[in-house]
Structure 1
Amino acid sequence: MEERVYWTAEAADMVGIGTSTIRKYALALEAKGYNIQRNDKQQRAFTKKDIAALKRIVELTQAGVMTLDSAVNTVINEFAGENPSDELKNEDNADHKVYSTNDVAAILEHVKKQDERLDRIERFNRELINRLDEQTKYITESINKRDDQITSAIRELQDTKRLLATSTEEKAEHSKGFLSKLFGKK
């Protein structure tokens, strides 16, 4: 009995990604020696095994666990030597995920990298908070200093106005007294 094959668009629908992404993943698999059947027009004909391999790549890459290259290597190792009946058994047990040692190691490495990133982010945030505190302190001190200078300038201006007013009054009295003396008026 001949195995059913799926064309690129059908495979994309089954896997749940776009046709261009299917082609990209197929090229990556083929570059590592994975064989995908083709017809006379060189169109890819995906088997159930190929669909399962593509689904596994999507699973590994979308979870952020692995890069495409690592996921392709893992899939090739997992699917090397499998026959279609093994594939059907795996498809029946699709709800029960089994992770290889490579998967677990990749996940642990990913978690470790995320922890390191979080630590860097926390240090960066603390540094930013310290800088903001320093800037706030500087701005507050600058505003207070400016306010003190403005208050001092206003006081000096008021004192100068008072002195000018007093001086003007004294001059007016002084000149009044002189004219009075001159004309004999008091």
Structure 2
Amino acid sequence: MEHSIFTTEAAKILGVGVSTLRKYAALLEAKGYEFDRGHHNNGRIFKEDDLVLLSSMLKKMEEGMSVEAAAESMVGQGRKASPLLSQSNDLQEFIAQIKELEVQQASLTEMNRHLVKQVEILTEKIEEREREQQLFRLIEESRKKKKRKGIAFLGPLNSLAGKR
């Protein structure tokens, strides 16, 4: 039977801090690697294969590889998460994206309503201004006609008074 250890002991064996080991293990899990878990506290249980994998990852980082790249290169060599778990995570991400899109759509719909109201208000103002301009033109034309009629009306009076 394979020997299993918890995080504190594994960190000592690898020569890293406990929080550092947890960070690296979480990164590997995010990339699809699967660690066994304890029944009581759900803590990671490290087996010999896990320690070999983490040790190789640390060596790659010492050689200048980034943590992300080292983790990525290690995941292909280790135990993969079950396809059902991967599909479940993909489905959860997809559902989260759909919810985010629904929120964005609601926001865009509200903005569209607001813009439609603004267009209606501006259209009413334009129509009102056109009516005012038409009314102003009619008043001007009427004033000019009255002025011409007044001059025509005064014409015979001016000729009687001897003015020409």
TM-score, normalising length: structure 2: 0.50
Q: Which residue of 2 aligns with 1:76?
A: 77
The number of aligned residues is 104
Deviations 1:133-155 (A, max 9, x none): 21012112211221112112211
In 2, Cα distance between equivalents of 1:77 and 1:145: 70
Q: Which residue of 2 aligns with 1:107?
A: 87
Identify if the C-alpha distance between structure 1 residues 111 and 70 changes in structure 2 by more than 3 Å, giving closer, same or farther: farther
Q: Is the 8 A contact 2:57 2:70 kept in 1?
A: no
Percent same amino acid among aligned pairs? Answer: 6
Q: Is the 8 A contact 1:74 1:102 kept in 2?
A: no
Q: Which residue of 2 aligns with 1:139?
A: 119
In 2, Cα distance between equivalents of 1:137 and 1:116: 32
Deviations 1:60-80 (A, max 9, x none): xxxxxxx987765443124xx
In 2, Cα distance between equivalents of 1:104 and 1:72: 22
Q: Which residue of 2 aligns with 1:128?
A: 108
Q: Which amino acid aligns with 1:76?
A: Q
Identify if the C-alpha distance between structure 1 residues 131 and 69 changes in structure 2 by more than 3 Å, giving closer, same or farther: farther
Q: Which residue of 2 aligns with 1:158?
A: 138
In 1, Cα distance between equivalents of 2:97 and 2:153: 83
Q: Relative to structure 2, which stretch is displaced further, 105-114 or 128-137?
A: 105-114
RMSD between aligned residues = 3.3
Q: Is the 8 A contact 1:32 1:73 kept in 2?
A: yes
Q: Which residue of 2 aligns with 1:177?
A: 156
- Unaligned runs of 5+ residues in structure 2 are 1-55, 59-67
In 1, Cα distance between equivalents of 2:84 and 2:71: 13
TM-score, normalising length: structure 1: 0.45
Q: Which residue of 2 aligns with 1:93?
A: none
Identify if the C-alpha distance between structure 1 residues 122 and 69 changes in structure 2 by more than 3 Å, giving closer, same or farther: farther
DSSP 3-state at the match of 2:76: helix
- Unaligned runs of 5+ residues in structure 1 are 1-30, 34-66, 79-99
In 1, Cα distance between equivalents of 2:82 and 2:71: 10
Deviations 1:112-168 (A, max 9, x none): 112111111111012112211210121122112211121122112212211221122
Q: Is the 8 A contact 2:57 2:74 kept in 1?
A: yes
Q: Which residue of 2 aligns with 1:118?
A: 98
Identify if the C-alpha distance between structure 1 residues 104 and 70 changes in structure 2 by more than 3 Å, giving closer, same or farther: farther
DSSP 3-state at the match of 1:76: coil
Q: Which amino acid aligns with 1:181?
A: L
